[in-house]
């Protein structure tokens, strides 16, 4: 009951938010004229690589970049007396718009494993963040990582898609 109440509250919050949902991101990318253009994230011209359960809330998604991209899906195999869970990877290095649409479509309807466990089914109504594997935030500059200073890490979500002459950007916004 508590989980349902929290999810209902989050859906209400998203009604007034510019944050893209998985289905909205797919539709915006489908509207791009030249789908063979390379896809970038607007922060530091990073390239998307993988998609995973977001560490900030495992029932939401994060797009990860070329630096630490990863995807934690799960395949169940039944061997009679026991079952195993095998991690799978989806994503694409240096994707075009068309290739990234396929990655996003594959994530829709998949069950992801949270960073510390649990299974979370993603849908077209799932919010999408920018965060590297094991983080709920994104390093927004090229400064050396200081273990005591995380001021260069920000919570970042996606709000739009922008086509330029030679590339397409996923447009981000810092969370308040």
Q: What is the pLDDT of residue 38?
A: 98
44-58, 68-82, 161-175: the lowest-pLDDT one: 68-82
Going from N- to C-terminal start, the domains of the chain cover: 11-137+151-174
Q: What is the pLDDT of residue 71?
A: 46
> Would you put residue 109 in left (φ > 0), alpha (ψ -120 to 50) or beta?
left
Q: Residue 139 phi/psi, 5° resolution? A: -75, 115
Is residue 104 within 8 Å of residue 22, measured between CB atoms? yes
Q: What is the pLDDT of residue 107?
A: 94
11-20, 44-53, 61-70, 91-100: the lowest-pLDDT one: 61-70
**Residue 62 pLDDT more than 90?**
yes
Chain CA centroid to CA 111, Å: 14
Write out pLDDT tens, residues 120-129: 999 999 999 9
CA-based torsion, 120, 96, 158, 135: positive or negative: positive
Report helix, strand or coil for 112. Answer: strand
């Amino acid at each position: 009951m508590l989980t349902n109440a929290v999810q209902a509250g989050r859906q209400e919050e998203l009604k007034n938010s510019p944050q893209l949902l998985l289905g909205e991101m797919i539709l915006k990318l489908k509207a791009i004229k030249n789908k063979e253009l390379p896809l970038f994230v607007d922060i530091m011209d990073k390239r998307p690589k993988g998609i995973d359960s977001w560490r900030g809330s495992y029932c939401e998604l994060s797009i990860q970049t070329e630096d630490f991209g990863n995807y934690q899906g799960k395949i169940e195999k039944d061997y009679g007396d026991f079952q195993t869970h095998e991690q799978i990877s989806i994503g694409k290095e240096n994707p075009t718009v068309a290739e990234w649409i396929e990655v996003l479509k594959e994530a829709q309807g998949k069950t992801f494993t949270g960073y510390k466990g649990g299974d979370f089914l993603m849908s077209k109504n799932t919010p999408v963040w920018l965060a590297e594997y094991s983080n709920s935030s994104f390093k927004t500059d090229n400064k050396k990582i200081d273990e005591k200073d995380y001021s260069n890490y920000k919570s970042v979500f996606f709000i739009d898609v922008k086509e330029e002459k030679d590339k397409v950007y996923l447009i981000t916004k810092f969370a308040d």
